[in-house]
Amino acid sequence: MTSIIFMGTPDFSVPVLKGLVEKGYEVKAVVTQPDKKVGRKQKITKTPAKIAAEELDIPVYQPVKLSGSSELDELIAMNADFIVTAAYGQFLPTKFLNSAKIAAVNVHGSLLPKYRGGAPIQYSLINGDKETGITIMEMVKKMDAGDIYAQKAIEIEPDDTAGSLFEKLSYLGRDLLLETLPKISDGSVQKVTQNEEEVVFSPNITKNQERITSKMTAQEANNLLRGLNPDPGAYMMVNGKRFKVWKAEVADESTDLEAGSLVENKGRFAISFANNTVLNLLEVQPAGKKKMPIQSFLNGQASKFTVGEKIIDD
């Protein structure tokens, strides 16, 4: 039986892990990030990969840093055929990568060399791409720079968010990995070297990137909020207060109002953006409130706004 050490952390990794087990691979261990304190009550929360591993009765390792840890020596001693990673979240020591008898393989959520880094799915939406996909690649010490074993693309739908794309790509990644591992084992796969001139990076999202401003077009604003939904979410400053926007649509109209102005607040909440574009807000979360459909917000707040006034603070 082909043996695997699996490394993953978020929901994205769970279908991949379960797929390996269901296909009959021997998963000797699951390595995931340490449990974290979450929410106002700071409740200790297990990673999705850990929860799945415990359900599957697979030993779990959670080193704060794998390099130099006692866990590293234990994992190397397992002498696994494959190391498989899917959104693990740490760099792996070279001696660990080299310990795989056949290969160390990564399931990456983009069509490399585009979007190397920690947030490929988010950037595909933020940048308005029409497609994304999965890359099965050989792991090397340099981030997401290994040779490509296989790729498969999917179309990005107009209503896709980071959440929906993560789910779609996790299953696509599972299927492509299970299709590719036997080819790596028997040597029939043809690796492709990445073109370094085409590399695009996708570093982790920072707090400064979460803010929608009126300098954006309506399409750019909509792309941003889709890329940051469900986590961490995008916001704008409306009359001095933080105002999260979870869902919107680009209106099929233009306006002469100054960017950041209220276009309409009866039946819809429409705001002007750069290049005379208009964005209809559909689901919002005012400061201190829960998410709500825009009609619920308008029922209590519409009278506080005047059409034509600038409401977005940049």
Give the CA distances from residue 229 to residues 46, 161, 226, 232, in Å, rounded to whole numbers and listed in that order: 21, 6, 5, 7
Residue 59: what residue type?
Answer: P
Q: At what angle do helices 48-55 and 13-22 cross, to 10 degrees?
A: 20
d(CA 255, CA 276): 5
Sign of CA dihedral 90, 95, 96, 97: positive
Closest CA to 313 of 239, 262, 261, 243: 239
110 is in an annotated binding site: yes
Q: How far is CA 284 from the centre of its chain?
A: 21
d(CA 224, CA 219): 9
Give the helix/strand (H/E) hosting 76. Answer: helix 70-77
Phi–psi pair at 108, nearest 5 degrees: -115, 135
Find where tokens 């919002």 sit.
284
d(CA 100, CA 97): 6
d(CA 165, CA 156): 8
Joined together, the tokens standing for residue 231 give 């986590």
Indicate left, alpha or beta for 288 from its phi (over 0: left) and psi (-120 to 50: alpha). left
Give Cβ neighbours of residue 242 (< 8 Å, ≥ 6 apart): 235, 287
112 is in an annotated binding site: yes
Binding residues for (6S)-5,6,7,8-tetrahydrofolate: 110-113
Binding residues: 110-113
